[in-house]
């Protein structure tokens, strides 16, 4: 007798599904099933119930232990989306589902049914929307006039131009028709403003979903979205996989932000998955940013995306004045030019607040022997240790290992060790010294680690108890400080010399976002950028033409160099404890991938070859057509597992890599 089988995605690093015998159980796709895997019992997702009358391997099938759901927990839309993601990112399907489901729903003991709160006929508006200004009206009319179904709209507008208000009004329109909206944002913990704005407008119709929530709250939000009782789901990366049965609009705020890309394990881009989700669901997606990624700008340029622009600030303040400070030959005070210090005094005197942007936490990025030039190295990485003076430690920012401060040089035993370069701690110390009458504080991930610290700092900035704030890119995101009138950028030049082709794009996004913090209140802002390369064509392009001016130039450079968005990349990475193993494995991989219509570049050792005691190497694949790259990967990823040396290394595929190291 033929027994019914069920195809299951199990949580294991397998590129394929496993078939199990369903027995008397009626198992529909999307149900969770408990199945044996080796000696363990695991929870997998039933994908389909294939009818294979003459399957020869039937005897190898083991039976399903239990079906955990009467009705499918995952709707077809999410099964399709996860299947697409598994195929596109070449990541094991079971691990994709594991990333898509809250942990509590992946445990064997939890029953799948739960009465969801019955739907309330929703009262949509809590705080009424302000009347849209002229530019917003044009955008809203444009969005409303799009033909129904899938479309991608890029909404470009500087910080404060009223993009969030556009999202709110579009969401309001779809809620009025009974739809649900998904709003993705790079960060919620650091930037609660977006959620606050939505809550203000839509009250209890809004749920949030992000990793900072406890498991219980996450599961509740997931269930509410799934049951259709939450109408607006705001979340970070993994929210893109939450079921929304009446999904009618997807918004991706700060679409350029690198944190939409998961950098380890299942390396997906939530922005790109969101676009596919909207496409599969046949609904519009809005990508918003003050500094769109070059990929999105290019897609808009060639008409694949609609392009809407909000040219000014919603409340019509002037944009901040930008100026470069040439630091060559300047008498720097711990890295700060006199001109920057003077400007700080001027703004403080006028009652303004000052933000100093430093892209490095700690006191100084290196500790140098004045006699022989030795710098304290990390024993586990090819990198230098960062001096954290307040904690009295040297810390590696790559593997987190720590040591005491040395009193003598590790090479010549000399006792004159000097900090080189500027971190947030050092700039904070310097500003406290220079402006004793002002209160200077630092905001970076070291400081924010203490519970409640970030909220206290933000509150003190708002109440103007803090006049000078020193911070990392943490500050670039979404914060709205009304009294801020001067932004100083302490160092930018690293990006100009970087080997990473995206470094300048990222720098420009960061600088533009940081600049956007200045003068959002009543005073006109000023932005001063220290550099040793004031004539650098890329900096000049930014200064003259703003982000768009520079982006235009960078897109041309990418076209000439054959880099994204004019080519598609995948990175094969490998690392191993033994020197050479990763390179050997990737050489075999390169041989296998060679000559199949895709450029195979490398392998080369990673720019920082040794990290946390592992030796790393990489192989870059490039194709003009996405399909060519995908075909090759689909045909060969399985084979990589059986290459010589594969067992000695950890390897991974990164499709559309953001970081090339």
Please count the residues of this chain forming the interface with ligand ADP, following the rule CB under 6 A. 15
Name the residue nearer to ligand ADP (CB basis): 37 or 158. 158
Cβ atoms of residues 170 and 176 within 8 Å: no
Query: CA–CA separation, 633 vs 627, rounded Å?
Result: 10
Q: How far is the CB of 132 from ligand ADP (least distance, A)?
A: 5
Binding mask 84-123 for ligand ADP (x = CB under 6 A): ----------------------------------------
Q: How far is the CB of 420 from Zn ion (least distance, A)?
A: 13
SS3 123: coil
Name the residue nearer to ligand ADP (CB basis): 130 or 178. 130
Q: How far is the CB of 130 from ligand ADP (least distance, A)?
A: 4
Q: How far is the CB of 378 from Zn ion (least distance, A)?
A: 3
Query: CA–CA separation, 363 vs 345, rounded Å?
Result: 23
The string over 613-642, giving b where at least 16 C-beta atoms fall within 10 Å of a residue's C-beta and e elsewhere, is: ebbbbbbbbbbeeeebbbebbeebeeebee
CA distances from 171 to 132, 224, 285, 609 (A): 14, 18, 11, 47
Piece in contact with ligand ADP (CB under 6 A), picked from 129-137, 322-330, 357-365, 530-538? 129-137
Q: Does 374 bind Zn ion (CB under 5 A)?
A: yes
Cβ atoms of residues 230 and 264 within 8 Å: no
Quick one: which H or E segment has residue 635?
helix 626-640
Piece in contact with Zn ion (CB under 5 A), picked from 308-316, 401-409, 468-476, 584-592? 401-409
**From the list Zn ion, ligand ADP, none, which binds 163 (C-beta under 5 to 8 Å, kind-based)?**
ligand ADP
Please count the residues of this chain forming the interface with Zn ion, following the rule CB under 5 A. 14
DSSP character for 478? Answer: S
Name the residue nearer to Zn ion (CB basis): 345 or 411. 411
DSSP character for 377? Answer: B
Q: Pick from 11, 72, 102, 160: which binds ligand ADP (CB under 6 A)?
A: 160
Query: CA–CA separation, 109 vs 170, rounded Å?
Result: 41
- Restricted to residues 300-319, the positions that interact with ligand ADP (CB under 6 A) are 314-315
**From the list ligand ADP, Zn ion, none, which binds 132 (C-beta under 5 to 8 Å, kind-based)?**
ligand ADP
**From the list ligand ADP, Zn ion, none, which binds 387 (C-beta under 5 to 8 Å, kind-based)?**
none
Query: CA–CA separation, 437 vs 51, rounded Å?
Result: 78
Please state, as a whole number, how many other Cβ atoms lie within 10 Å of the Cβ of residue 124: 15
Q: Locate tokens 């892209």: which residue?
A: 359
Q: What's the alpha-carbon Rg for the chain, to the nearest Å?
A: 27
Cβ atoms of residues 651 and 640 within 8 Å: yes
Among the listed residues 647, 572, 650, 588, the one whose alpha carbon sits nearest the alpha carbon of residue 615? 650
Query: CA–CA separation, 583 vs 536, rounded Å?
Result: 36
Name the residue nearer to ligand ADP (CB basis): 506 or 520. 520
Q: Pick from 242, 381, 395, 640: which binds Zn ion (CB under 5 A)?
A: 381
CA distances from 255 to 186, 280, 346, 415, 421 (A): 8, 20, 36, 49, 32
**From the list ligand ADP, Zn ion, none, which binds 374 (C-beta under 5 to 8 Å, kind-based)?**
Zn ion
**From the list Zn ion, ligand ADP, none, which binds 414 (C-beta under 5 to 8 Å, kind-based)?**
Zn ion
Piece in contact with ligand ADP (CB under 6 A), picked from 114-122, 152-160, 298-306, 373-381? 152-160
Residues that bind ligand ADP (CB under 6 A): 130-133, 136, 157, 159-165, 314-315
Residues that bind Zn ion (CB under 5 A): 369, 371-372, 374, 378, 380-381, 396, 398-399, 409, 411-412, 414
């Amino acid at each position: 007798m033929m027994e019914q089988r069920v195809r299951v995605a199990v949580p294991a690093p397998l590129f394929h599904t496993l078939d199990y015998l369903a027995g008397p159980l009626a198992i529909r796709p999307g149900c969770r099933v408990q199945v044996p895997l080796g000696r363990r019992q695991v929870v997998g997702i039933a994908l389909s119930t294939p009818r294979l009358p003459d399957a020869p391997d039937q005897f190898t099938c083991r039976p399903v232990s239990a079906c955990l759901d009467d009705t499918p927990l995952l709707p077809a839309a999410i099964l399709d989306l996860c299947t697409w993601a598994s195929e596109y990112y070449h990541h094991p399907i079971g691990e994709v589902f594991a990333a898509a489901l809250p942990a509590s729903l992946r445990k064997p003991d939890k029953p799948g049914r739960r009465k969801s709160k019955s739907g309330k006929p929703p009262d949509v508006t809590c705080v009424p929307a302000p009347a849209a200004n002229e530019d917003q009206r044009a955008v809203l009319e444009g969005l409303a006039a799009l033909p129904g179904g899938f479309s991608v709209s890029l909404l470009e507008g500087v910080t404060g131009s009223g993009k969030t208000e556009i999202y709110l009004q579009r969401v309001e329109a779809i809620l009025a028709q009974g739809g649900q909206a998904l709003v993705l944002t790079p960060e919620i913990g650091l930037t609660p403003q977006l959620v606050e704005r939505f809550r203000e407008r839509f009250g209890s119709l809004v749920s949030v979903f992000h990793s900072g929530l406890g498991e219980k709250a996450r599961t509740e939000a997931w269930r509410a979205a799934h049951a259709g009782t939450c109408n607006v789901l705001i979340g970070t990366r993994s929210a893109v996989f939450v079921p929304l049965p009446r999904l009618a609009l997807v918004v991706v705020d700060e679409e350029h932000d690198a944190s939409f890309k998961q950098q380890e394990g299942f390396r997906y881009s939530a922005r790109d998955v969101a676009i596919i989700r909207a496409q599969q669901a046949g609904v519009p997606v809005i990508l918003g940013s003050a500094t769109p990624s070059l990929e999105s700008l290019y897609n808009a340029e060639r008409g694949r995306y609609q392009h809407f622009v909000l040219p000014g600030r919603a409340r019509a303040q002037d944009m901040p004045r930008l100026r470069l400070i040439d630091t060559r030959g300047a008498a720097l005070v711990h890295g700060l030019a006199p001109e920057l210090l003077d400007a700080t005094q001027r703004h403080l005197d006028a009652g303004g607040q000052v933000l100093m942007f430093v892209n490095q936490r700690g006191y100084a990025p290196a500790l140098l022997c004045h006699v022989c030039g030795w710098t304290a190295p990390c024993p586990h990485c090819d990198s230098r240790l960062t001096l954290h003076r307040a904690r009295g430690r040297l810390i590696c920012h790559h593997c987190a290992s720590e040591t005491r401060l040395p009193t003598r040089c590790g090479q010549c035993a000399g006792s004159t060790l000097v900090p080189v370069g500027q971190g947030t701690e050092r700039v904070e110390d310097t500003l406290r010294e220079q402006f004793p009458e002002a209160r200077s504080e630092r905001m970076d991930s070291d400081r924010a680690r203490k519970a409640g610290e970030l909220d206290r700092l933000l509150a003190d900035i708002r109440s103007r108890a803090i006049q000078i704030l020193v911070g990392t890119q943490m500050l670039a995101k979404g914060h709205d400080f009304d009294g801020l009138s001067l932004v100083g950028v302490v160092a930018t030049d690293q990006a100009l010399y970087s080997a990473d082709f995206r470094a300048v794009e990222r720098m420009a996004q960061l600088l533009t976002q940081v600049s956007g913090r200045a003068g959002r209140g009543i005073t006109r802002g000023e932005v001063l950028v220290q550099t040793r390369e004031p004539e650098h064509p890329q900096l000049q392009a930014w200064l003259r033409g703003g982000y768009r001016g520079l982006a235009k130039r960078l897109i041309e450079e990418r076209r000439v160099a054959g880099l994204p968005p004019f080519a598609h990349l995948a990175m094969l990475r490998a690392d191993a404890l033994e020197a050479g193993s990763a390179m050997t494995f990737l050489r075999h991989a390169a041989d296998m991938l060679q000559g199949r219509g895709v450029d195979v570049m490398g392998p080369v050792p990673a720019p920082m070859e040794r990290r946390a005691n592992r030796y790393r190497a990489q192989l870059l694949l490039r194709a003009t057509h996405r399909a060519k790259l995908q075909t090759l990967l689909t045909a060969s990823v399985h084979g990589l597992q059986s290459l010589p040396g594969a067992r000695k290394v950890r390897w991974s595929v990164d499709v559309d890599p953001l970081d090339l190291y």
